[in-house]
Amino acid sequence: MSTIRVDAKVVMLGKESVGKTSLVERYVHHRFLVGPYQNTIGAAFVAKPIQLGEKVVTLGIWDTAGSERYEAMSRIYYRGARAAIVCYDLTDSSSFQRARFWVKELQNCEEVIEQVLYVLYHILKWETLKVGFFLSSVNNGPRLHTILFVALQQCKIYLCGTKNDLITADRSLRQIDYHDAQDFAEEIGAQYFETSSKTGNNVDELFHKVAEDYNNAAFQFMSEESGVDLGQKKDSYFYSCCHNN
Amino acid sequence: MDGEAQNESVACEKATLAPVDRLRSNRAESPTPGLVEGTEPGAVQKSAFFAHAQSFEDLTAEAEEKAEQEGVVEDSGQTEDELQVLVGERTITEQHAQDVSPQSRSKEEDMSSEAWRSHRKHVFVLSEAGKPIYTRYGSEEALSSTMGVMMALVSFVESDKNTIRSIHADGCKVIFLAKSPLVLVGVSQTYQSDKELLRELQYIYYQIVSLLTLTQLNHIFQNKQNYDLRRLLAGSEYLTDNLLHRLDRDPGLLLSAVTCLPLSNSVRDVVSSSLQAAKAKNLVFSILLAGDRLVTLVRKKDQFLHHIDLHLVMNLVGSSSSFREGEGWTPICLPKFNTAGFFHAHISYLESASDLCLILVSTDREDFFNMSDCKQRFLERLTKRTAYQALKEALKCPSYSVEQVGIPELRHFLYKSKSSGLYTSPEFPELYQSDEEQERLMGLYQDLHSHLHHPVRPLRFFYRCTNKENLLAWVTNGFQLYLCFSPLGTKAMAVSAVNKLLKWIRKEEDRLFILSPLTY
Amino acid sequence: YRLAGTYPGMASGMQEKQYTPSLLSFFIYNPTFGPREGEEEKKILFYHPSDVEKNEKIRNVGLCEAIVQFTRTFCPTKPAKSLHTQKNRQFFFEPENNFWVVMVVRNPMIEKLNKDGKTQTIEYQEEEMLDTVYGAVVRQCYSMYKLFNGTFARAMEAGGVELLMQKLEKFFYKYLQTLHLQSSDLLDVFGGISFFPLDKMTYLKIQSFVNRVEESLSLIKYTAFLYNDQLIWSGLEQDDMRILYKYLTTSLFPRHTEPELAGRDSPLRPEVTGNLLHYGRFLTGPLNLKDPEAKFRFPKIFVSAEDGYEELHLIVYKAMSAAACFMISASVELNRDFCEQLDSLVGPQLTLLASDICEQFTVNRRISGPEKEPQFKFIYFNHMNLAEKSTIHMRKTASVCLTSVHPDLMKILGDINCDFARVDEDEEIIVKAMTDYWVVGKKSDQRELYVILNQKNANLIEVNEEVKRLCATQFNNIFFLD
């Protein structure tokens, strides 16, 4: 079959016109299109192979539309994503608010995943390996499969401040302090990048990091017995469960 | 005229060099019969891919009526108050316009200015609460009180169990279309008839529905009458802008038809069958476009695509460069098919620099990779059978000049075959190259069209001599024909040109039309 | 529902009733007369029907104001002319600053009996009325008021709002009853004058008659001469003559036709003349000069003059088919002496002229050959001299204007006329209706000609030839297009 095999699904999220499409455009086609702003309709998909040492990792990048109209749709895209690049415009504080919203959405999504994992680990008393085995056996299973698959792969968040070139040209344009963004990233356990699609500054680095993290995680999952560290969260599951009852 | 044309044409038919293939063998000899739908030049062989007036259009019409009924009649006492307010409205709106900060949208224009007023066609969309949703010119904020007045007028007339249709002044008219939960208003300085303007507003309504579905739209306003729909439509204004532009310029929207990429019958057949073979469970329509021209369309059996829905898809694809890179995947409601739900369209160009755009419409929102796979299969098949090269070759001349028809006095024409829903038309000639002249010519065609399709006094034939051009329009059960001649031409010449042209179209029909549409 | 103007339909045995357009309301208001809230009623100067509830009146006037204001947002210089709704159309006209005349006409409709056999469904035919036609009717209403009363402003100056309201009430109460909206058509748009075709000799005779009368009776300021409802001579301004002509031919003359048609011995024929030397009599003023009680009051009319307008007595004097209108300044008091003088001077001469014209007319008719039903019918109008000619319209009476073609064809003429009105250029339009009738419209040098051809199998070329022939014989080739 000629369809390109995708290793890791990456989803671009963020307010409209922060430059998600430009970021993808710069990374995939090494160019920056000047002209009237055109917003993305629905979502666009591009597959991009990256060379990591001897290995090739193919990122399947979902460039979603920032418009509120497609908000519900975007959930389809980040479900099952290994990485979410949450973008905001360094010169627009409202876009940072929107980025916070997306982070929250992603975390909500993870809550669902956590619940499923809770069932597997604590009610069914499955072990990590068994979970892995189960996943590989229900190859084309129904929705649960997708959710479980996602559950074990966890979506990593990358926070990305765009249009860095504008700041370089005029510092007063910056509306989000570097350290505030950095703090927020740490708080949510995300990597933080400031990029410019116009100059290409930091763009390759961002996607390279995404690919690398995937590669390392995949390697971990294959080699280490424990896989995803869930022990830490056990108590919290139990806690919330008890209180719900 | 009919009889005469027929006699003459029968005699000439023998001279046709076009190979008589299996499809043509059972077609009428005469190029001009057209009096029976389905035998006119360009008529489809099997079933058309467009919905006929009789198919499901009636179903949606019914649904619309119901929706209309639901949202009527407001408390009359309230509207009376509103009306008292709006008598003194003008001063308020003017003040308001000045209040608007200069740094808002780029389409900002002072609405008390001459420039704003002098636009040929304004279009406004508002909610039933009078909240602005869209304006073609100026900003919605500055126009909020004007739109409030519009809504007040609508509900005032409604309170008498009546419906407002239009206001007429010399050289200017205002048309109202209430499509609950939206109200659309057009202000036109063109000579278009009310019916034509209403049809354009209807298009804008469908454009909005195609982004949100009517179900969602109703749901939103049921929950919150005061909702600001611009939040959800943000970023789609240019789709509406472009659609309005097309309505002024694209004969297809006027004729309720689309035009095809001229392509030899054999190549088109290969393209169609390759597309037919690349099917999937949830795939409903496969559409291959070359710019604004249709290359082929394959549909699921028993499912028809309405021309309005196809125009909306073409507008979506044509308005955005975002499908050029990578593969697009977007929910789209095809309102003439079903206003309630979304289809999901896989949109991609065969090559990033090419004009060939493939649209695969699926019912399943999780179908992206299946569609992506269909596209690959289609491409492989196409390349294997060398049709791809021929198709790319055809792209180099996507149109033809009127000179090729060989009628010296003829400047331009539109021909629509009714049964196939397809039309053909040459490039705009030298004389009509500028934007103004093209729009003027389109205006003339619109005028002819609205005369022939007058709601209560339709005409069979229309001929008009002016200082600038002579125009002829003719409608039969099988086709519609609009011709533009030099003003020096005579009537005798016009009559003979019609006969010659119909013969030419018959001769070229398998290149200009899709004669054998396929289904999965 | 009103029963006037209805007739049962014949559609496939279904119970259907068709209603022609009818006048719903007619009102005149001035928005500056009651600007404050609670004073809205003061804006309304006239409202028909008068029994409409006050709040309803205020509401409807309010809507008109709103429509007018709203339209100004988009075209400040061109006021709103009409409002279309599902059920009716409203026509607006601002003849004088801030005075608005509004006519609301219900769309024609079809009442169908539902399948249950009890309830009815009403279907409004929204596309049947032509704005140009009804817009012209409203303008005519005002012109007619102005002819007999002068401007609104004049009444305001003379006696304030109160007087104006009285005058409006008095005039429109009667005038609106004479409106026949169902038979309004393209001729109302033109508002033309039909001229009587005459040879030079006869024309000179008439001219010298007018000169002699004006010389002998120096009080006469203006004279107009008509024969058979057609104009031959007029000393008035064109626009004044146009509305006077309308009054004479649709109102005054039809009211007086019966005696003449009735013949000498008919009891209908009034024994008024007594004078065996001539057939002259007054259509306005004294009915019978011999009557000692006779009143010498003539209707007053207002026509334009250098300094605005002048008020005149209108004397209409008729002998057989010839009618002469004499207009005399209203400041002069007219008495029995004057009328007798006029009667003895004009009566015999006018009688003679009438028979001369009649003779000439019959001769001409004989020359042009026996009248055969032609293959075509036409309407002609010349914007420069307001000359109008129609072979479509039968005799006009006070109540109806009969046409010999299907109303839809008349409306197609109206549609073509709208097309012509858009640009000031010569044009030609030829259409074939669904009924296979051909309709040709030509506009050339301020003249418009519309021809309906009943040659269903003709083609464009044949139709063109036919119209060419018509132009050559009837119009001396004044239309030059192809």
pLDDT in tens, B113-138: 788 888 889 999 999 888 899 999 98
List of domains in chain B = 111-254 (3.30.450.70), 263-396 (3.30.450.30), 402-512 (3.30.450.30)
Q: Does C171 share its domain with C205? A: no
Q: Is C193 a domain residue?
A: no
Count of all residues that appear for chain C in the document: 482
Query: Cβ distance B425 to B258 under 8 Å?
Result: no
Residue-wise pLDDT tens digits, B470-506: 999 999 999 999 999 999 989 999 999 999 999 999 9
CATH code for the domain of C24: 3.30.450.70
DSSP state of B51: P
A54 is in which domain, residue-wise? 8-110+154-225
Q: Is C481 a domain residue?
A: no
Query: Which residues of chain B neighbour A41 with C-beta distances below 8 Å?
Result: 316, 320, 322-323, 328, 330
Q: Is C237 a domain residue?
A: yes
In whole angstroms, give the CA distance from residue B172 to residue B446. Answer: 17
In whole angstroms, give the CA distance from residue B62 to residue B195. Answer: 20
The strand pairing partners of B427, in sequence order, are none
Q: Which of A185-189, B422-426, C72-76 has the highest mean pLDDT?
A: B422-426
In whole angstroms, give the CA distance from residue C241 to residue C140. Answer: 13
In whole angstroms, give the CA distance from residue B404 to residue B204. Answer: 36
User: Span C23-27, mean pLDDT?
Assistant: 96
Residue B31 has pLDDT above 80, yes or no: no
CATH code for the domain of A46: 3.40.50.300
- How many folded domains does chain A comprise? 1
ipTM of the shown complex:
0.89
Q: Which residue of B has its CA nearest to C423?
A: B466
- Nearest by CB to B330, from A21, A24, A41: name it: A41
Nearest CA-CA partner of A60 in A14, A12, A106: A12
Pairing of strands A156-162, A83-89: parallel
Percent of chain C with pLDDT over 90: 53
User: Span C59-73, mean pLDDT?
Assistant: 90
Give the domain-ending residue among C122, C151, C184: C184
Query: Which residues of chain B neighbour C79 with C-beta distances below 8 Å?
Result: 169
Q: Is C416 a domain residue?
A: yes
Helix (H) or strand (E) holding B26: none
C209 is in which domain, residue-wise? 200-263+277-368
Q: Does C39 share its domain with C149? A: yes
A24-33, A104-113, A165-174: least confident range: A104-113
Q: Does C222 share its domain with C346? A: yes
Q: Which residue of A has its CA nearest to B375?
A: A3
Residue-wise pLDDT tens digits, C226-279: 998 899 999 999 999 999 999 998 888 888 765 554 444 444 444 444 455 678
Residue C292 identity (one-letter amino acid) = P
As a three-state string, the secondary structure of A201-233 is CCHHHHHHHHHHHHHHHHHHHHHCCCCCCCHHH
In whole angstroms, give the CA distance from residue A5 to residue B36. Answer: 53
Q: Does C361 share its domain with C380? A: no
pLDDT band at C366 (very low <50, low <70, confident <90, very high): low
Residue A139 has pLDDT above 50, yes or no: no
Give the domain-ending residue among C350, C368, C386: C368
- B105 to chain A, any CB pair closer than 8 A? The answer is no
User: For position B10, what pLDDT does the model report?
Assistant: 35
Query: Cβ distance C128 to C122 under 8 Å?
Result: no
User: For position B227, what pLDDT does the model report?
Assistant: 87
- What does the buried/exposed string (b/e) look like for B215-225 if buried means 16 or more CB atoms within 10 Å of the residue's CB? ebbbebbeeee
What residues 336-355 of chain B have any CB closer than 8 A to a CB of chain A?
Answer: 345
Q: Is C395 a domain residue?
A: yes
- The reply to whether residue B122 touches residue C128, judged by beta carbons under 8 angstroms, is no
pLDDT band at C327 (very low <50, low <70, confident <90, very high): very high
In whole angstroms, give the CA distance from residue C319 to residue C334. Answer: 21
Nearest CA-CA partner of A76 in A128, A28, A13: A13
In whole angstroms, give the CA distance from residue C228 to residue C223. Answer: 17
- Nearest by CB to C128, from B117, B456, B466: name it: B456
pLDDT band at B315 (very low <50, low <70, confident <90, very high): very high
- The reply to whether residue B456 touches residue C81, judged by beta carbons under 8 angstroms, is no
Q: Is A192 a domain residue?
A: yes
Q: Which residue in this structure is represented by tokens 């192809």?
A: C482
- The reply to whether residue B167 touches residue C70, judged by beta carbons under 8 angstroms, is yes
Tokens of A100: 């916070």
Residue-wise pLDDT tens digits, C401-430: 556 788 899 999 999 999 999 888 899 999
User: Span C382-389, mean pLDDT?
Assistant: 91
Tokens of B218: 């109703």
- A71 Cα distance to chain centroid: 16
User: For position B117, what pLDDT does the model report?
Assistant: 84
- Nearest by CB to A68, from B232, B327, B380: name it: B232
* Chains near A (3 or more Cβ pairs under 8 Å): B
What is the distance in angstroms between the Cα of B211 and the nearest Cα belonging to chain A? 8
Residue A82 has pLDDT above 90, yes or no: no
As a three-state string, the secondary structure of chain C is CCCCCEEECCHHHCCEEEECCEEEEEEEECHHHCCCCCCHHHHEEEEECCCCCHHHHHHHHHHHHHHHHHHHHHCCCCCEEEEEECCEEEEEEEEECCEEEEEEEECCEEEEECCCCCCEEEEECCCCCCHHHHHHHHHHHHHHHHHHHCCHHHHHHHHHHHHHHHHHHHHHHHHHHHCCHHHCCHHHHHCCECECCCCHHHHHHHHHHHHHHHHHCCCEEEEEEEECCEEEEECCCHHHHHHHHHHHHHHHHHHHHHHHHHCCCCCCCCCCCCCCCCCCEECCCCCCCCCCCCCCCCCEEEEEECCEEEEEEEEEEEECCEEEEEEEECCCCCCHHHHHHHHHHHHHHHHHHHHHHHHHHHHHHHHCCCCCCCCEEEEEEECCCCEEEECCEEEECCCCEEECCCHHHHHHHHHHHHHHHHCCCCEEEEEEECCCCEEEEEEECCEEEEEEECCCCCCHHHHHHHHHHHHHHHCCCCCCCC
What is the distance in angstroms between the Cα of A39 and the nearest Cα belonging to chain B? 6
Pairing of strands B459-465, B470-475: antiparallel
Percent of chain A with pLDDT over 90: 36
Q: Is A143 a domain residue?
A: no
Q: Is C222 a domain residue?
A: yes
- Nearest by CB to A3, from B330, B345, B369: name it: B369
Q: Does C353 share its domain with C229? A: yes
Q: Does C391 share its domain with C462? A: yes
User: For position B143, what pLDDT does the model report?
Assistant: 81
Residue-wise pLDDT tens digits, C153-201: 999 999 999 999 999 999 999 999 888 898 889 999 999 999 988 888 8
- The reply to whether residue B167 touches residue C71, judged by beta carbons under 8 angstroms, is yes
A26-30, B47-51, C448-452: least confident range: B47-51
- B440 to chain C, any CB pair closer than 8 A? The answer is no
- The reply to whether residue B328 touches residue A44, judged by beta carbons under 8 angstroms, is yes
Residue-wise pLDDT tens digits, B52-93: 333 322 333 333 443 343 333 333 344 444 444 444 433 333
**Mean pLDDT over the full length of chain C:** 85
User: Span C290-296, mean pLDDT?
Assistant: 81
User: For position C151, what pLDDT does the model report?
Assistant: 94
Mutation choice for B interface testing from A11, A28, A41, A67 by most B CBs within 10 A: A41
User: For position B164, what pLDDT does the model report?
Assistant: 96
Nearest CA-CA partner of C231 in C385, C360, C362, C402: C385
What is the distance in angstroms between the Cα of C120 and the nearest Cα belonging to chain B? 17
Q: Is A134 a domain residue?
A: no
Nearest CA-CA partner of A73 in A160, A11, A145, A154: A11
User: For position C8, what pLDDT does the model report?
Assistant: 44
In whole angstroms, give the CA distance from residue A166 to residue A198. Answer: 9
What is the distance in angstroms between the Cα of B199 and the nearest Cα belonging to chain A? 26
- The reply to whether residue B345 touches residue A42, judged by beta carbons under 8 angstroms, is yes
- How many folded domains does chain C comprise? 3
Question: For chain B, what percentages of helix, strand and coil (3-state, to nearest 5) are there?
Answer: 40, 20, 35
- The reply to whether residue B465 touches residue C81, judged by beta carbons under 8 angstroms, is no
Residue C92 has pLDDT above 80, yes or no: yes
Q: Is C171 a domain residue?
A: yes
Q: Does C433 share its domain with C345? A: no
- Nearest by CB to C78, from B149, B171, B456: name it: B171
Query: Which residues of chain C neighbour B175 with C-beta distances below 8 Å?
Result: none
C397 or A34, greater pLDDT: A34
Q: Does C162 share its domain with C221? A: no
What is the distance in angstroms between the Cα of C67 and the nearest Cα belonging to chain B? 8
Helix (H) or strand (E) holding B148: helix B144-158
Q: Is A172 a domain residue?
A: yes
Nearest CA-CA partner of B298 in B488, B49, B6, B31: B49
Residue-wise pLDDT tens digits, C111-135: 988 888 888 899 999 999 999 999 9
- The reply to whether residue A68 touches residue B234, judged by beta carbons under 8 angstroms, is yes
What is the distance in angstroms between the Cα of B142 and the nearest Cα belonging to chain C? 13
- C36 to chain B, any CB pair closer than 8 A? The answer is no
- Nearest by CB to B322, from A1, A40, A61: name it: A40
Tokens of C133: 């036609």
User: For position C415, what pLDDT does the model report?
Assistant: 94
Q: Does C145 share its domain with C245? A: no
What is the distance in angstroms between the Cα of B314 and the nearest Cα belonging to chain A? 13
Q: Does C239 share its domain with C105? A: no
Tokens of C155: 């009444």
B35-49, B219-233, B339-353, C10-24: least confident range: B35-49
Q: Does C205 share its domain with C352? A: yes
Q: Does C134 share its domain with C226? A: no
Residue A95, judged by CB atoms within 10 A of its CB (0-12, 13-18, 19+), counts as buried
Pairing of strands C120-124, C88-96: unpaired
Q: Is A139 a domain residue?
A: no
- The reply to whether residue B463 touches residue C429, judged by beta carbons under 8 angstroms, is yes
- The reply to whether residue C79 touches residue B467, judged by beta carbons under 8 angstroms, is no
**Mean pLDDT over the full length of chain B:** 81
The predicted model scores a pTM of 0.83
CATH code for the domain of C227: 3.30.450.30
Query: Cβ distance B271 to B391 under 8 Å?
Result: yes
C359 Cβ contact list (under 8 Å, min separation 6): none
A50 Cβ contact list (under 8 Å, min separation 6): A56, A57, A58, A59, A207, A208, A211
Helix (H) or strand (E) holding B476: none
- A59 to chain B, any CB pair closer than 8 A? The answer is no
What SS3 state is found at B347?
strand
Residue-wise pLDDT tens digits, B196-223: 999 999 999 999 999 999 999 999 999 8
Query: Cβ distance A25 to A33 under 8 Å?
Result: yes
pLDDT band at B162 (very low <50, low <70, confident <90, very high): very high
Residue A221 has pLDDT above 60, yes or no: no
Residue B278 has pLDDT above 80, yes or no: yes
What is the distance in angstroms between the Cα of B320 and the nearest Cα belonging to chain A? 7
User: Span A72-84, mean pLDDT?
Assistant: 75
Query: Which residues of chain B neighbour A38 with C-beta distances below 8 Å?
Result: 238, 320-322
Neighbours of B468 (CB within 10 A): 15
Query: Which residues of chain B neighbour A73 with C-beta distances below 8 Å?
Result: 330-331, 365
- The reply to whether residue C84 touches residue B4, judged by beta carbons under 8 angstroms, is no
B128 or C105, greater pLDDT: C105
In whole angstroms, give the CA distance from residue A218 to residue B294. Answer: 46
Q: What angle do CA B29, B34, B35 make, to 5 degrees?
A: 115
Residue A49 has pLDDT above 50, yes or no: yes
A24-38, C76-90, C324-338: least confident range: A24-38
Query: Which residues of chain C neighbour B122 with C-beta distances below 8 Å?
Result: 74
What residues 277-336 of chain B have any CB closer than 8 A to a CB of chain A?
Answer: 316, 320-323, 325-332
User: For position B37, what pLDDT does the model report?
Assistant: 64
CATH code for the domain of C458: 3.30.450
In whole angstroms, give the CA distance from residue B351 to residue C429. Answer: 50
User: For position B95, what pLDDT does the model report?
Assistant: 38
Q: Is A148 a domain residue?
A: no
- Nearest by CB to B84, from C37, C423, C457: name it: C37
Query: Which residues of chain B neighbour C427 with C-beta distances below 8 Å?
Result: 464-467
Q: Is A130 a domain residue?
A: no
Q: Is A1 a domain residue?
A: no
- A89 to chain B, any CB pair closer than 8 A? The answer is no
As a three-state string, the secondary structure of B365-431 is CCCHHHHHHHHHHHHHHHHHCCHHHHHHHHHCCCCCCHHHHCCCCEEEEEEEECCCCEEECCCCCHH
